[in-house]
Amino acid sequence: MLTQIKPQFARISALVGAIAWAIVLFIRTADSYETELIDKLLLLGVLVVVPLGLSLVARPVTNGGHSLLYRLAVFAQPLGAAAVIASFFLQQGIKAALFASAWLVVTSLVSLYGLWRLSVGRLRGIEEVSISMGLIYLSIGAGWLVMSRLGFQPLGFGDTIVLLTAVHFHYAGFAAPILTGLSGRLLAHASRVTRRLFVPAAIAVTIGTPLVAAGITASPLLALVGTLVISLGLVLLAVLVCGWVVPALHSGPVRLLLVISSAVSLISMALASLYAYSIVTKTLIVDIPHMALSHGILNAFGFTLCGLLAWAIAQSE
């Protein structure tokens, strides 16, 4: 069974996950509108973003086959996603955390696959390192998800912050480095100047995520620095995508989706920077509910899903 697992399996899982998410969207999972929205964004990441991302990062090892870790992760992903859905219909506590732990097992396989990729010589280019780091970061998000379903609030964080950290690592941690790396694969054939511009973009996107997470734990100022770093990386990436990647592609839908993804990333990261600045200066510019409604939705649907769908279409042509 496992020998037959291919990236197409992950795409089917993403499609089924999208249908499941559309159903769950109309079922209440939280007491407040704010938490309800964050729950749904996290479930979108688990059900659709992760399997779609996994379908794009496979690199055959021999004779068209794939790493055992990759095949295990792709096979287990729908099972882990179903367990996460179940956890949201239980009260916070040990039982809900146990269900969510199934997702931690799945994402640990994904992270191990990311570590394996780092050890493979031909996958050590900056674009492949970016993809591998996205895979590695994912299990951190799953760990925060387990803490959220347990009701555990480390370091005195509120439950909303714990849940938002889980969301952060599913999108900024997992999806953003993967989208960066996929663009980098095409830019590898661009001019030397363009290639050099991609390197700082990939580094900024990759290190920005842990900086933001560390800032949430230690210092709002560090969180602002991290947000600005990842924002600058995505701005540079948007310029490269619109200036070089899009003209190199021939598919109209792919080009349109990548332009939308790039444009939306600029807006969503501007909002994120405003929010981080408001925390540092203690001035109310954008609060958490508005961030979830604006930045969260824009980042999930505009930047992440449009970008992943673009590359899925491009790879299938």
From the number of C-beta atoms within 10 Å of its C-beta (0-12, 13-18, 19+), residue 239 rates as middle
The predicted pLDDT at position 51 comes to 97
Q: How far out from the chain centre does Cα 273 lie?
A: 18
Strands (E) located in the chain? none
pLDDT in tens, the chain (317 residues): 555 667 889 999 999 999 999 999 999 888 888 889 899 999 999 999 999 999 999 876 666 667 889 999 999 999 999 999 999 999 999 999 999 999 999 999 999 999 998 888 676 789 999 999 999 999 999 999 999 999 998 877 788 889 988 998 999 999 999 999 999 999 888 888 888 899 999 999 999 988 888 877 777 788 888 889 999 999 999 999 999 999 999 899 999 999 999 999 999 888 888 877 777 777 767 666 666 667 788 999 999 999 999 999 998 87
Tokens for 244, please give them.
């070089």
CA distance 189 to 198: 12
Supply the DSSP symbol for 186: H
Tokens for 273, please give them.
């920077």
The predicted pLDDT at position 3 comes to 57
Sequence spans of domains, the chain? 2-316
Top-tier CATH class for 2-316 = mainly alpha
The predicted pLDDT at position 87 comes to 96
pTM for this model (two decimals): 0.93
